[in-house]
């Protein structure tokens, strides 16, 4: 007989005559002649209740199958007379796949997120983390579906790179050189002897490659892992995270913002529809205001605010911020939250940032002072999207590269795209984990990624 997923059984309107389920014991209650066993197979938040009676030949062994043990159960699915579940299974046969000892760390009690981070290999077996990772999976699928519906092409941009797209110097070096015996030339490390014959890194963004493909295929996106050696141990930064990066030819900054808004609403709406049960767990136990927040995200018109106006609002807000607000400085998390949670009470795009705090590729505005950049700020999580219209004018781009000290020879291929058939184009990057934080109300980014990587932390 084929195994049926518990999610499928629980959704069923009619009982199955015979079923086979396989999963792990969440809880077991024994009385003299029978046991109630709650089995979870990861397919849904809900467990399947199994009734095992002392008529089963291995009943004595079944009684030893405590929390964490793995069972294979065949039996009859019947309407449950008990509260809390529609169906239950009257076991006719139970195979003990493996018995867990009492030392299994996930006994039936609440554990802190901090503790669960120390057992990241086991935490997906809890209700909360099972829900996180089911939603994560559904979101990845929804992203591809959204872009497919919009006729975008999916581009696999490289992970190994020789350029620092963002110019922030947060690069992880990769190398095959012998670190205990580095080849030297004129007292410096001789990178020509390294695998690629030069310094190479893990990518911080697929954007520069995506741009090349937008100028060929029109509308493209890349969705993959990105890496930042950012030494900030915050609740919103990890060293390895996933980014969704659309890039659109013949698209200006305002169309870029409109598209980002449409994408965010589509994805949030999709998850609200497809992951209702899992989302309810977060609304009950993690963030009581989650549902109204999500409703607001899918239904409100996002505000679009020039950077200098955002600074004015913050300066005159009368709030005492830890970090000083000033024109020409980046917004800190506390400023982002003030704007989205207190002042406007909805998602806000900030655009036209001073060029001094943004990367070289952003399009220079006519004021010669700001660039066509945009960030989307969300209540509680702050920045989830960073994007821009790209500088399509060769001479302006070259001047800007000179200004920030980039070697134009190394970017010859990037500059070529502005030499041959250059067009206005735009795109953005959305942090996949930041978006998941927003969807679930989970406040630490380490808790929405299977095995988080952050400074001095790489167990698992």
Q: Which of 259, 237, 239, 262 is nearest to 248 (CA)?
A: 259
Of residues 155, 243, 377, 442, which one binds ligand 4AD by CB under 6 A? Answer: 243
Residue 384's binding partner among Mg ion, ligand 4AD, none (Cβ under 5 to 8 angstroms by kind) is ligand 4AD
* In the complex, minimum distance from the CB of residue 315 to Mg ion, in angstroms, rounded to a whole number: 22
SS3 109: coil
Window 153-172: residues binding ligand 4AD (CB under 6 A): 165-166
Of residues 73, 155, 238, 374, which one binds ligand 4AD by CB under 6 A? Answer: 238
Q: Which of 50, 58, 66 is nearest to 100 (CA)?
A: 66
Cα–Cα distance between 410 and 197 in angstroms, integer? 14
The CA-based diameter of the chain, rounded to the nearest angstrom, is 85
Residues 6+ away with beta carbon under 8 Å from 442: 132, 282, 286, 436, 448
Q: How many residues does the chain have?
A: 460
CA dihedral for 278, 292, 314, 324, sign (positive or negative): negative
Count of residues in contact with ligand 4AD, rule CB under 6 A = 24
Window 303-342: residues binding ligand 4AD (CB under 6 A): none
* In the complex, minimum distance from the CB of residue 345 to Mg ion, in angstroms, rounded to a whole number: 23
Cα–Cα distance between 435 and 257 in angstroms, integer? 16
Q: Which of 103, 49, 44, 45 is nearest to 71 (CA)?
A: 49
Closer to Mg ion by CB, 166 or 211: give it.
166
Residue 429's binding partner among Mg ion, ligand 4AD, none (Cβ under 5 to 8 angstroms by kind) is ligand 4AD
The region of 48-56, 282-290, 297-305, 377-385 touching ligand 4AD under the rule CB under 6 A is: 377-385
Residue 310 burial by CB count (10 A; 0-12/13-18/19+): exposed, middle or buried?
A: buried
What is the phi-psi region of residue 293: left when phi exceeds 0, alpha when psi lies from -120 to 50, beta otherwise?
alpha
Residue 23's binding partner among Mg ion, ligand 4AD, none (Cβ under 5 to 8 angstroms by kind) is none
Closer to ligand 4AD by CB, 94 or 260: give it.
260
Residue 425's binding partner among Mg ion, ligand 4AD, none (Cβ under 5 to 8 angstroms by kind) is none
Kindly state whether residue 387 participates in binding ligand 4AD, applying the rule CB under 6 A: yes
Of residues 39, 433, 437, 448, which one binds ligand 4AD by CB under 6 A? Answer: 433
Kindly state whether residue 261 participates in binding ligand 4AD, applying the rule CB under 6 A: no
What does the binding site for ligand 4AD look like in residue numbers (CB under 6 A)? 165-166, 205, 207, 228, 230, 237-238, 241, 243, 245, 383-387, 427-431, 433-434, 445
């Amino acid at each position: 007989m084929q195994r049926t997923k518990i999610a499928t059984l629980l959704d069923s309107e009619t009982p199955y005559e015979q079923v086979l389920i396989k999963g792990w014991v969440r809880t077991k209650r024994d009385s003299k002649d029978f046991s109630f066993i709650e089995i979870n197979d990861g397919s849904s938040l809900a467990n399947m209740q199994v009734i095992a009676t002392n008529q089963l030949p291995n009943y004595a062994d079944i009684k030893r199958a405590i929390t964490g043990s793995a069972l294979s159960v065949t039996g009859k699915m019947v309407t449950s007379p008990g509260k809390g579940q529609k169906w239950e299974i009257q076991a006719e046969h139970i195979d003990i796949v493996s018995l867990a000892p009492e030392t299994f760390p996930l006994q039936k009690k609440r554990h802190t997120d901090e503790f669960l981070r120390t057992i990241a290999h086991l935490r997906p077996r809890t209700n909360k983390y099972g829900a996180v990772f089911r939603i994560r999976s559904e979101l990845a699928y929804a992203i591809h579906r959204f872009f497919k519906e919009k006729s975008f092409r999916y581009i696999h941009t490289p992970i190994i790179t020789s350029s620092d797209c963002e110019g922030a110097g947060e690069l992880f070096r990769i190398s095959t050189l012998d670190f205990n015996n580095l080849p030297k030339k004129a007292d410096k490390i001789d990178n020509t002897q390294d695998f690629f014959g030069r310094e190479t890194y893990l990518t911080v963004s697929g954007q520069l490659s995506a741009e090349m493909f937008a100028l060929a295929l029109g509308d493209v996106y890349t969705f993959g892992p990105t890496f930042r050696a950012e030494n900030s141990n915050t609740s919103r930064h990890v060293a390895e995270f996933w980014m969704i990066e659309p890039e659109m030819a013949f698209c200006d900054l305002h169309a870029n913002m409109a598209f980002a808004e449409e994408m965010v609403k589509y994805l949030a709406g999709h998850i609200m529809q497809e992951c209702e049960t899992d989302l309810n767990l977060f609304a009950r136990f993690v963030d009581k205001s989650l549902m109204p927040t999500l409703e607001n995200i899918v239904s409100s018109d996002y505000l679009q605010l020039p950077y200098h106006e955002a600074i004015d609002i913050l300066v005159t807000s009368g709030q005492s911020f830890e970090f000083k607000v000033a024109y020409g400085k980046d917004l800190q998390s506390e400023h982002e939250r003030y704007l989205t949670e207190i002042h406007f009470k909805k998602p806000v795009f900030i655009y036209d940032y001073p060029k001094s705090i943004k990367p070289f590729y952003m399009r220079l505005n006519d004021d010669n002072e700001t660039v066509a950049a945009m960030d989307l700020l969300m209540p509680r999580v702050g920045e989830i999207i960073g994007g821009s219209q790209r500088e399509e004018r060769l001479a302006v781009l070259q001047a800007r590269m000179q200004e920030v000290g980039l070697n134009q020879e190394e970017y010859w291929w990037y500059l070529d795209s502005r030499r041959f058939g250059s067009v206005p184009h735009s795109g953005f990057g959305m942090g996949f984990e930041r978006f998941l934080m927003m969807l679930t109300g989970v406040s630490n980014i380490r808790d929405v990624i299977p095995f988080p990587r952050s400074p001095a932390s790489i167990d698992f």
